[in-house]
């Protein structure tokens, strides 16, 4: 595998993540797009192609939601495409943007992810019932909290974990988010508060979960030659990987996300990483639930199987730790507008690697980072490695 063209990230923008935005989905996409273009002094005319990422149409009740979001994302009269891997979309959209540029079809590509969940009344969780198999599962009235409860239980059982081993992730991420100007969750949290929060579907409690949100994020990608003209400080997309497992989630052992490992191995191979535990300075693993961050750091080969909780306890994952995870505050703290949340993780890598993360800045000038998202029926992993 020889990748023919290098692709850089040269700009990023994001809206505040919030429970209920007054803006329309198009307007949210516009705000993030405008910011991303302003951040690198580009105009819409400088952009050759646009990639859109947004999760279920059911949130907005708009058929062909990608087409609807087209003008808000700067896609009018341009090559524009929406790609989709459920919750993994936010990290897959920049992979598609990378494809647009690395293939040579475009020299600049805007990647926009938007989600407006608050339109679904009374709660967006109801829309998720429609993701289940229409013959054998949907009739059970299941939602995501229940099935992720099964996965969380399996993970805890396999390694004999206690709730506090998992709850520490919520404390770390929600407190990290206090330093993020776009964060939805702005409240200092203690371990006891997480452990005492309302039980939703055991072992899942309210503070184990990220909040549903409205928001949008955008990145500007450019080819090597273009990037050098746009900025002195590009961040390179050095590895991409994605992997989708079978739809039959009930037929696999939920203790370990093998598809995340395969996606990570694909990205690491492309980036020339053979010892991720040593070569990656910080990570933004997908954390819609606290146990997922642990699951995913193992899938990303940043921890041995079953050892991720101990590393959180030992402080390895703190912002000033040996290998921080979710210095942004993650989905648990910043918020979880599905596709936009994944792209927020990529934007965080961009800001951190450029040393522009302000109070969130990871120390010692990080040079290599990985972001990952996950989704579908506990089924897909998407991974991007960036280097300064």
Which residues would be at the binding site for other proteins (CB under 8 A)?
A: 1-5, 24, 55-58, 60-68, 70-71, 75-87, 92, 96, 98-100, 102-105, 127-128, 130-131, 133-134, 240-248, 258-259, 262-263, 266, 270, 375-377, 379-380
Task: List the end-to-end C-alpha distance of the chain, in Å, as a whole number.
Answer: 22
Query: What would the two tokens of residue 221 be?
Result: 């990608």
Nearer to other proteins, 41 or 103 (CB): 103
Nearer to other proteins, 137 or 179 (CB): 137
Shortest spacing between CB 342 and other proteins, in angstroms: 13
Tokens 């923008």: give the residue: 13
Instruction: Give the Cα separation of 78 and 33 in Å (integer).
Output: 15
Contact predicate 241/374, CB 8 Å: no
Shortest spacing between CB 230 and other proteins, in angstroms: 21
CA distances for 190 relative to 193, 240, 257, 274, 292, angstroms: 5, 36, 29, 37, 19
Strands 368-375 and 282-284: parallel
Shortest spacing between CB 274 and other proteins, in angstroms: 18
Shortest spacing between CB 253 and other proteins, in angstroms: 13
Nearer to other proteins, 156 or 386 (CB): 386
Instruction: Give the Cα separation of 361 and 349 in Å (integer).
Output: 10
Cα three-residue angle 93-98-99, rounded to 5 degrees: 95
Using CA atoms of 167, 173, 175, 181 in order, give the dihedral in degrees to the nearest 10.
-150
Shortest spacing between CB 89 and other proteins, in angstroms: 9
Nearer to other proteins, 161 or 371 (CB): 371
Nearer to other proteins, 321 or 342 (CB): 342
Shortest spacing between CB 88 and other proteins, in angstroms: 8
Nearer to other proteins, 52 or 362 (CB): 52
Shortest spacing between CB 198 and other proteins, in angstroms: 26
CA distances for 378 relative to 151, 160, 164, 214, 240, angstroms: 9, 21, 23, 23, 20
**Residue 49 carries which DSSP code?**
E
Nearer to other proteins, 239 or 329 (CB): 239
Shortest spacing between CB 380 and other proteins, in angstroms: 8
Tokens 């120390």: give the residue: 363
Contact predicate 350/236, CB 8 Å: no
Nearer to other proteins, 120 or 173 (CB): 120
Query: What would the two tokens of residue 187 be?
Result: 């409240």
């Amino acid at each position: 595998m020889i990748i023919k063209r290098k692709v850089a990230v040269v700009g990023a923008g994001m809206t505040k993540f919030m429970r209920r935005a007054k803006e329309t989905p198009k307007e949210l996409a516009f705000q993030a797009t405008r910011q991303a273009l302003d951040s690198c002094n580009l105009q819409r005319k400088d952009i050759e192609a646009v990639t859109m990422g947004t999760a279920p149409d059911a949130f907005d009740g708009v058929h062909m939601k990608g087409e609807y979001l087209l003008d808000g994302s700067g896609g009018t009269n341009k090559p524009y495409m929406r790609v989709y891997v459920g919750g993994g979309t936010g990290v897959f959209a920049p992979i598609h943007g990378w494809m647009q540029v690395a293939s040579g079809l475009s020299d600049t590509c805007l990647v926009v992810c938007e989600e407006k969940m608050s339109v679904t009344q009374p709660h967006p969780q109801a829309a998720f019932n429609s993701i289940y198999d229409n013959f054998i599962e949907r009739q059970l009235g299941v939602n995501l909290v229940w099935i992720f409860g099964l996965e969380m239980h399996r993970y805890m059982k396999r390694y004999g974990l206690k709730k506090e081993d998992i709850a520490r992730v919520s404390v770390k991420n929600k407190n990290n988010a206090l330093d993020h100007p776009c964060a939805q969750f702005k409240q200092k949290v203690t371990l006891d508060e997480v452990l005492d929060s309302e039980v939703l579907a055991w072992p899942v409690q309210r503070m184990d979960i990220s909040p549903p949100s409205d928001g949008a994020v955008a990145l500007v990608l450019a080819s090597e030659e273009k990037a050098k003209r746009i900025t002195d400080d590009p961040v390179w997309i050095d590895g991409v990987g994605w992997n989708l497992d079978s739809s039959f989630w009930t037929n696999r052992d939920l203790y370990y996300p093998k598809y995340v490992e395969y996606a990570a191995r694909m990205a690491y191979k492309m980036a020339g990483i053979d010892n991720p535990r040593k070569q990656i300075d910080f990570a933004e693993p997908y954390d819609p639930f606290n146990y997922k961050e642990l699951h995913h750091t193992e899938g990303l080969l940043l921890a041995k199987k079953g050892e991720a909780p101990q590393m959180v306890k030992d402080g390895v994952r703190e912002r000033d730790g040996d290998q921080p995870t979710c210095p942004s505050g993650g989905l648990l703290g910043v918020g979880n507008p599905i596709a936009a949340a994944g792209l927020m993780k990529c934007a965080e890598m961009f800001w951190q690697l450029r040393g522009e993360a302000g109070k969130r800045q990871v120390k010692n000038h990080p040079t290599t980072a990985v972001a990952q998202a996950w989704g579908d029926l506990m089924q897909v992993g998407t991974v991007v490695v960036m280097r300064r």
